[in-house]
């Protein structure tokens, strides 16, 4: 084997060792606590008797966990629950009460770690959401039922490194999700909620 080939192999091996050491030094897990605002854009849907279903926004605490498979590739799972006031507007004004939403979301992320970024660690991601609706409160109506659904999520965010383990975080997601709503077992509606989820928080990497 030529000397140049040996040198190239050694350089590749050293790069791999350095990357593994870098990942081990920073830790493979990042746990964050955020305050998020979930704001449905309500950009689509109509009831069987006319009118457009709408859901209001809510602000709530959220916990998320990210596992780093490599220094650049991570997988994030978020958990939070929100409560939304719902109604039908545009010609038919009906208050549907409120409903709680549990939307666990798993995204695959790419984290930018170039030295020129300094302490800023931006990332982008995409994944899936399972939207579970529960605890519907509908005073004045016999029943309001919401069907669970699966949707696509896209995100962008940035971590700012305060110490070797502590990070500030800002994150924005849009979740493309809808639900079929049945009122009094007869009136049906499809609500395209498609919320924008914006949050800030602090994380610990280990």
DSSP string, 22-88: HHHHH-SEEEEEEEEEEE----S--BTTS-EEEE--EEEEEEEEEEESSSSEEEEEEE--EEEEEEE
Q: What is the model's pLDDT at position 26?
A: 67
Closest CA to 174 of 191, 158, 151, 149: 151
> Is the per-residue pLDDT at 158 higher than 90?
yes
CA–CA distance, 13 with 35 (Å, rounded to integer): 42
CA–CA distance, 198 with 155 (Å, rounded to integer): 10
Contacts 24+ apart (CB under 8 A), 135-139: 135/99, 135/100, 136/97, 136/98, 136/99, 136/100, 137/97, 137/98, 137/99, 138/96, 138/97, 139/97
> Is the per-residue pLDDT at 139 higher than 80?
yes
Model confidence pLDDT, tens digit, residues 111-137? 999 999 999 999 999 999 999 999 999
How does residue 94 score in pLDDT terms, banded at 50, 70 and 90? confident
Fold of 27-205: Porin (2.40.160)
How does residue 53 score in pLDDT terms, banded at 50, 70 and 90? confident
Q: At 136, phi and psi to the nearest 5?
A: -70, 135
CA–CA distance, 185 with 175 (Å, rounded to integer): 28
Q: Show the tokens assigned to 174.
A: 């849009």
CA atoms within 13 A on the CB side of 39: 9
Percent of all residues in the chain with a pLDDT value above 90, rounded to a whole number: 69
pTM of this structure: 0.83
Higher-confidence position of 52 and 107: 107
Q: Where are the domains of the chain?
A: 27-205
Mean pLDDT of the chain: 87
């Amino acid at each position: 084997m030529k000397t140049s080939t040996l040198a190239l192999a050694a350089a590749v091996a050293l790069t791999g060792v350095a990357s593994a050491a870098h990942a081990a030094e920073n830790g493979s897990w990042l746990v964050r606590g955020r305050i998020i605002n979930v704001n449905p854009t309500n950009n689509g849907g109509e009831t069987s008797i006319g009118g457009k279903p709408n859901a209001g926004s809510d602000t709530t605490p959220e916990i998320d966990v990210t596992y780093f498979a490599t220094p650049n590739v991570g997988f994030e799972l978020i958990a939070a629950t929100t409560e939304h006031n719902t109604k039908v507007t545009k010609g038919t004004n009906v208050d549907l009460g409120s409903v709680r939403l549990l939307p666990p979301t798993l995204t695959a992320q790419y984290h930018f770690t170039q030295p020129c970024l300094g302490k800023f660690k931006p990332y982008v991601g995409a994944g899936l959401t399972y939207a579970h609706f529960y605890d519907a409160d509908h005073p004045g109506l016999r029943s309001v039922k919401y069907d669970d659904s699966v949707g696509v999520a896209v995100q962008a965010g940035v971590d700012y490194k305060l110490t070797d383990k502590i990070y500030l975080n800002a994150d924005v997601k849009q979740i493309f999700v809808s639900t079929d709503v049945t009122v009094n077992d007869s009136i049906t509606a499809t609500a395209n909620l498609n919320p924008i989820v914006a949050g800030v928080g602090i994380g610990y990497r280990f």
